[in-house]
Amino acid sequence: MSDAQRTLAKEVFLNGTGLHTGEAVSVRVVPAPADAGIVFVRTDLPHRPTIPARAGQMVDVSKSVRRTTLCRDGVEIQTIEHFMAAMWGAGLDNAYVEMTASEMPGLDGSAIGFLRQLQQAGTMEQQSPRRYFSLREPVSVEEGDSAIVVFPDKEFRISYLLSYPHPKLRSQFVTFQQSGGATFEEAIAPARTFCMKEEAEALRTAGFGKGATFENTLVWDAQGVMNNTLRFEDECARHKVLDLIGDLNLLGEHLRAHVIAIKSGHPLNVKLVKKLTQTSEQWRLGSLQSATAEVMVGPQLDITQIEKILPHRYPFLLVDRVTELTETRAVGLKCVTSNEYFFRGHFPGKPVMPGVLMIEAMAQLGGIIMLNKSEHKGKIAYFMAVDKVKFRKPVVPGDVLVLEAELGKVRSRIGQVLARALVDGKVVCEGELMFALSE
């Protein structure tokens, strides 16, 4: 398969009942143009409202128990994770998903029914390149004794550890990778949703699980699975991987990373997807779009990209490259050459970089951190004060200044940055800088 985006070759029709609402629903999945993404359409409501399958539409899990729900302008689409996993497994990037109710059909509680229908329809290659989401540094989320860590990788892999305080459902470990080994269809898609017997009773009491049956949900009591037979010995862990794949598909881009999850569920999945999305938005807000359409977390900025954040220009732009950038920290480089304009009049017989320009270089890097935050988009960061400055050694032509800046206290329109400059690993200048943000 080429690296182009893909949509359906023909329409897909599905019917069923929502696991939680118990409502009958008909689904029609139709081809969509390149770059449209996966878009849900509520055909049962006036004006056919649409909801894109993206992280920004995800509902807080405290308001959507044991399922992933999207919401836009008060209109919801519930329990989409199995379908989204199937779309990923079928290699589909773009589709319109028309629904006659608020919840996707539960089918048999897994993704296999969705996947086989999509595979039967076939796929069609489109002109636009597929978009990928890659990392240059790990990203993690945790809550209680659950955690997910995402490491940079050249392909997509998931390792999942499940552990329940249950005599028949103890530790299970599953690893799945996109290339090599068992396919998604074989290893993950058939795994069904599950819950403990007491959880099922509590959900029913709370008004959920109206469409759940012993056929579409593995219910565990003290003796094991009730009125059903496992498809895999570790089917529950495999289903957790299925859910995670479906939730990660809400990134809108194909993730290239190794995901290691410990006892995670939808609440932590949602937290992870939102964190990954916020980090990628940080890249885009500075107009830092990769020429390969691949979003990089932990971006490096060249001079052209720096100029899209800072208003400074030659000869007063004193940061040549940013090698690390997060919401709170940045590392940059300033190559000091004999052609610098200031050497003409500052000790021309024995050129030394003025200390105030070292401070200015650190301040410009600090400004990049301030202006790269989404809430500061379009503002200007004015350098307004400096404190505790120390000059350790002179900087001369041929030196490479390694600038380090870390965001300190930020209050309303005032921000503090702790900065230092190094040459050959030794500090040459350091200080505390203050900025005022203005429209």
Question: What is the SS3 string spanning the chain?
Answer: CCCEEEEECCCEEEEEEECCCCCEEEEEEEECCCCCCEEEEECCCCCCCEEECCHHHECCHHHCCCCCCEEECCEEEECCHHHHHHHHHCCCCEEEEEECCCECECCCCCCHHHHHHHHHHCEEEEEEECCEEEECCCEEEEECCEEEEEEECCCCEEEEEECCCECCECCEEEEEECCCCCCHHHHCCCCCCEEEHHHHHHHHHCCCCCCCCCCCCEEEECCEECCCCCCCCCHHHHHHHHHHHHHHHHHCCEEEEEEEEECCCHHHHHHHHHHHHHHHHHHHHCCCCCCCCEEEECCCECHHHHCCCCCCCCCCCCCCEEEEECCCEEEEEEECCCCCHHHHCCCCCCCCCCHHHHHHHHHHHHHHHHHCCHHHCCCEEEEEEEEEEEECCCCCCCCEEEEEEEEEEEECCEEEEEEEEEECCEEEEEEEEEEEEEC
Q: Mark whether 219 and 320 lie in a shared domain.
A: no
The average pLDDT across 357-377 equals 79
Q: How many domains does the chain have?
A: 2
In a domain, 388, yes or no: yes
Is 82 designated active site?
no
* Higher pLDDT, residue 208 or 247: 247
Per-residue pLDDT averaged across 335-352, rounded?
84
Percent of the chain clearing pLDDT 90 (strictly above):
46
Residues 311 and 414 in one domain: yes
CA 239 centroid distance within chain: 21
401 within a domain of the structure (yes/no): yes
Burial 325-338 (b: 16+ CB within 10 A, else e): bbeeebbbebebee
Res 377: pLDDT: 60
Q: Looking at the structure, tell me whether residues 270 and 320 fall in a common domain.
A: no
Last residue of a domain, one of 227, 254, 285: 285
CA distance 11 to 100: 16
What mean pLDDT is predicted for residues 202-222? 72
Distance of alpha carbon 276 from alpha carbon 257, whole angstroms:
12
Q: Specify the pLDDT at position 226.
A: 84
> How long is the chain?
439
pLDDT, position 347 = 78
Alpha carbon separation from 378 to 41, 146, 265, 281, 431 (Å, rounded): 34, 38, 37, 15, 27
186 and 57, same structural domain?
Answer: yes
pLDDT value of position 292: 40
Q: pLDDT tier at 247 (50, 70, 90 boundaries)?
A: very high
Q: What is the mean pLDDT of residues 171-188?
A: 91
Q: Identify whether residues 305 and 276 lie together within a single domain.
A: no
More confident residue, 78 or 212: 78
pLDDT at 379 > cutoff 80: no
Active site residue 376: no
Looking at the fold, whether 270 and 305 belong to one and the same domain comes out as no
Q: Which domain holds residue 227?
A: 4-285
For the chain, what is the mean pLDDT?
85
Report yes or no on 292 lying in a domain. Answer: no
Q: Which of 256, 285, 314 is where one domain is finished?
A: 285
Please indicate, yes or no, whether residues 249 and 316 belong to a single structural domain of this protein.
no
Domain assignment of residue 294, yes or no: no
Burial class (CB in 10 A: 0-12, 13-18, 19+), 277: buried
Instruction: Give residue-wise pLDDT tens across range 266-315.
Output: 889 999 998 888 766 654 443 333 334 444 445 578 888 888 777 778 88
Q: What value, to the nearest 5°, has the Cα angle with vertex 239 and ends 221 and 65?
A: 75
Query: What's the whole-number mean pLDDT along residues 218-240?
Result: 87
When pLDDT is averaged across residues 189-218 and rounded to a whole number, the result is 75
Q: Which one of the listed residues 82, 254, 258, 266 is annotated catalytic?
A: 266
Q: So what's the pLDDT on residue 326?
A: 80
For the whole model, what pTM was predicted? Answer: 0.66
The tokens describing 171, both together, are 């530790």
Number of Cβ atoms within 10 Å of the Cβ of 1: 8
Q: Are residues 271 and 329 located together in one domain of the fold?
A: no
Lowest model confidence (mean pLDDT) among 5-14, 140-149, 277-286, 393-402: 277-286
Instruction: Name the more confident of 288 and 127.
Output: 127
Same domain? 276 vs 146: yes
| 3-255-137 Cα angle (round to 5) | 125
- Which CATH number is 361's domain given? 3.10.129.10
What phi and psi values does residue 197 have, to the nearest 5 degrees?
Answer: -60, -45
Higher pLDDT, 386 or 293: 386
- Point out the catalytic residue in the list 82, 239, 346, 376: 346
Together in a domain, 339 and 367: yes
Per-residue confidence (pLDDT) for residue 291, from 0 to 100: 34
The answer to whether residue 432 sits within a structural domain is: yes
Task: State the CATH number of the domain containing residue 191.
Answer: 3.30.230.20
pLDDT in tens, 128-148: 999 999 887 788 899 888 999
Q: Which of 93-102, 110-119, 166-175, 317-326 is predicted with the least confidence, judged by mean pLDDT?
A: 166-175
**What is the model's pLDDT at position 167?**
74
Report whether pLDDT(438) > 80.
Answer: no
| Residue 307 near residue 317, CB atoms below 8 Å | yes
Task: Write down the pLDDT at residue 328.
Answer: 82
Mean pLDDT of 342-371: 86
In a domain, residue 295? The reply is no
* Pair (242, 186) in one structural domain: yes
pLDDT given at position 63: 57
The pLDDT value given to residue 297: 47
Torsion of CA 351, 357, 358, 362, to 10 degrees: -160
222 and 327 both lie in a single domain: no
* Distance separating alpha carbons of residues 368 and 286, to the nearest angstrom: 9
CB 265 within 8 A of CB 196: no
Residue 203's pLDDT is 64
Question: Is residue 293 included in any domain, yes or no?
Answer: no
Domain boundary residue among 229, 259, 285?
285
